[in-house]
């Protein structure tokens, strides 16, 4: 039986389960790369918008030292046509991003996807992640352990009719290079409107870059979950780790 027939059979079979079949829009994550010195990191998130069925693509350029977007970015595009494919919208954002990608040599510095924890992973914890910063065997150096905690906030005026409680997050190391740590990487004091009424977060992965002659650069990828049209939606934010571990 062909794969598409297996998928179709699974969807049809799920119709007999209690409750409605719901599907949120969890954006895919695609790392693009780093500048050679690690001062800049870029990634793409893309998917099909729930409800409308419109394809979208967003490319982010993060100044890893300032924890801020590069001026003139992000590059965002959506095709308001539910019959359009992802290839077209992704090609549009890539073409727009190409001058920045090329000028910073990002194709030569893809970085290391040191850990990845997608929503499809049914065993791994969503608030905890342990990884190493070198892709070698046998392992070199100690492990790093990240811990994420949701922080409850009252919903904003724009969100109060969508969710009774909004959420921020804190992110900290419990271990760095094998040594115990209590270093806080990020803690929200407010919830940015750009997160679209968030209801929770999960640690999605870690990117590491090893610039020549300098300390490794760690980027924690956090998924922002929010109330969507047909289920919870997921988007990505990059949290740079300041300084050497």
List the end-to-end C-alpha distance of the chain, in Å, as a whole number: 50
**Neighbour-count burial for 167-194, b at 16+ CB within 10 Å, e otherwise:** bbbebbbebbeeeeeeeebbebeebeee
Q: How many residues does the chain have?
A: 245
Tokens coding 89? 């919208």
Alpha helices by DSSP H, listed for the chain, are 3-14, 86-103
Q: Report the 10 Å Cβ neighbour count for 230.
A: 13
pLDDT at 242 over 60: yes
pTM: 0.88
Tell me: the pLDDT tens digits for 120-152?
998 989 999 999 999 999 999 999 999 999 999
Q: Does residue 221 contact residue 171 with C-beta atoms inside 8 Å?
A: no
Tell me: the pLDDT tens digits for 67-96?
999 999 999 999 999 999 999 999 999 999
Which of 155-164, 182-191, 230-239 is predicted most confidently?
A: 182-191
Give the Cα separation of 63 and 217 in Å (integer): 12
Give the Cα separation of 26 and 46 in Å (integer): 9
Mean pLDDT of the chain: 89
Which of 116, 121, 120, 119 has the alpha carbon at shortest distance from 131?
A: 116
Q: Does residue 172 contact residue 242 with C-beta atoms inside 8 Å?
A: no
So what's the pLDDT on residue 228? 79
What is the average per-residue pLDDT within 156-174?
93
Residue linked to tokens 């760690």: 218
Which of 154, 50, 40, 156 has the alpha carbon at shortest distance from 100?
A: 40
Q: Report the 10 Å Cβ neighbour count for 76.
A: 13
């Amino acid at each position: 039986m062909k794969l598409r027939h297996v998928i179709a059979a699974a969807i049809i079979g799920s119709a007999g389960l209690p409750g409605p079949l719901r599907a949120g829009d969890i954006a895919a994550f695609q790392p693009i790369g780093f500048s050679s010195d690690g001062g800049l990191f870029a990634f793409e998130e893309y998917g099909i918008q729930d409800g409308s069925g419109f394809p979208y693509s967003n490319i982010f350029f993060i100044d890893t030292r300032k924890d801020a977007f590069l001026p003139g970015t992000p590059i965002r595009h959506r095709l308001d046509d539910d019959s359009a494919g992802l290839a077209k919208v992704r090609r549009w954002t890539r073409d727009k991003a190409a001058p920045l990608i090329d000028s910073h040599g990002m194709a030569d510095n893809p970085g290391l996807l040191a850990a990845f924890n997608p929503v499809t992973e049914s065993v791994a914890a969503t608030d905890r992640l342990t990884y190493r910063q070198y892709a070698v065997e046998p392992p070199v150096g100690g492990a790093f352990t990240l811990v994420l905690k949701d922080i409850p906030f009252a919903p904003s005026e724009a969100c109060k009719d969508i969710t009774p409680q909004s959420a921020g997050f804190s992110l900290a190391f419990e271990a760095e290079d094998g040594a115990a740590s209590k270093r806080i990487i990020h803690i929200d004091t407010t919830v940015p409107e750009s997160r679209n009424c968030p209801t929770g977060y999960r640690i999605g992965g870690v990117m590491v870059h090893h610039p020549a002659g300098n300390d490794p650069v760690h980027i924690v990828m956090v998924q922002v979950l929010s109330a969507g049209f047909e289920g919870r939606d997921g988007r990505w934010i990059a949290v740079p780790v300041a300084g050497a571990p």
